[in-house]
Amino acid sequence: GRPFVGFASLPHQIHRKSVKKGFEFTLMVVGESGLGKSTLISSLFLTDLYSGRTLPSASEMIQRTVGISKKTVDIEEKGVRLKLTLVDTPGFGDALDCSESYYPILNYINQQFEQYRIDEVGMHRTQIKDQRVHCCLYFISPYGHGLKPIDVTFMKELQGKVNIVPVIAKADCLTQAELQRKKETIRREIEHYQIKIFQFSDCDSDDDIEWTKQAHDMKNSIPFAVVGSNMVVRIHMRNVRVRAYPWGMVEVENPAHSDLIHLRTMLVRTHMQDLKEKTDEQLYEQYRISRMDTRRP
Ligand code: GDP
Ligand code: MG
């Protein structure tokens, strides 16, 4: 069956009315092609698609992604409904000149803003579907020395439009020491290039020590090191998603092997509401205002 995702704890973040209605949350993946974006999407949330089988058949193997594609899954936990939309993008790097490959992605994000804007001024304001992109996982190659120029360009183009959460792809290719060094390098570069990534809010009170510690851990995990896999094996009566190598297995959800659990916790348990609010109050608001300006003579 499906793994326990944990969003049922969301009522702490929001008021009861929206619990009844259910949540809508859209996550997008962006980055160079071949970094495991499509694989991670299924590793993060679609676990049950492959459970019970040890090897995916050829047709189930992830295909090269050609257009922007979206998949919506309805998940229900403890009476809380979540409509999760996963937006997969083709990734750049296949074309000789990648400098403009962010256009279709920006375009997609803007289209969702525009649709929301139209619905908002329309007749049925209470039934608006929120298809806006609330979070964008930006995949950074584990092979480079840090950010590539195109990563900088891309993130700077996206930063005013969507909450960017950077991740180091295929973290199983790095040793612990390499990973720590890479994280520090990337954090420094993000600061140096003034790239605005999603900021984890600090807890506003000191009464919740657990939360403060969690937020602190999250900040220090940025960019999250992720490992994805489409292979599920049964270990000690549990279905475990792994990458099998000649020398052994990497468990994608094992905190010693990757930050996948941190990432999922952050997305659905601790920061979903934050991501949604920031999208609505800052990013969408900016878009809305810019649309008003264009109609002035
Ligand atoms: P995308 O182009 O970014 O969507 O990448 P895909 O998800 O299609 O994956 C490209 C290749 O990388 C496939 O052969 C995957 O099996 C492999 N892959 C995906 N995730 C990982 C990972 O975390 N570690 C390693 N080593 N390989 C991965
Ligand atoms: Mg893909």
33, 90 Cβ separation under 8 angstroms: yes
| Most confident range, picked from 68-77, 126-135, 161-170, 268-277 | 161-170
| Most confident range, picked from 146-150, 187-191, 231-235, 236-240 | 187-191
Task: Enter the ipTM.
Answer: 0.99
Q: Counting ligands in written order, which one lies closest to the CA of residue 228?
A: 1
At 113, give phi and psi (nearest 5°): -60, -45
- pLDDT at position 184 is 95
Lowest mean pLDDT among 27-36, 87-96, 149-158: 87-96
Enumerate residues 6+ apart whose C-beta is below 8 A from 171.
142, 179, 225, 226, 227, 257, 258, 259
Q: How far is the CA of 293 from the centre of ligand 2 (A)?
A: 37
For 109-136, the pLDDT digits (tens) are 999 999 999 998 887 667 788 999 999 9
Q: Which residues line ligand 1 (CB under 6 A)?
A: 33-39, 62, 65, 91, 170, 172-173, 227-228, 243
pLDDT exceeds cutoff 70 at 274: yes
- pLDDT at position 128 is 84
**Closest C-alpha to ligand 1, atom 17:** 36
For 173-200, the pLDDT digits (tens) are 999 999 999 999 999 999 999 999 999 7
Q: How far is the CA of 65 from the centre of ligand 2 (A)?
A: 4
Q: How far is the CA of 141 from the centre of ligand 2 (A)?
A: 14
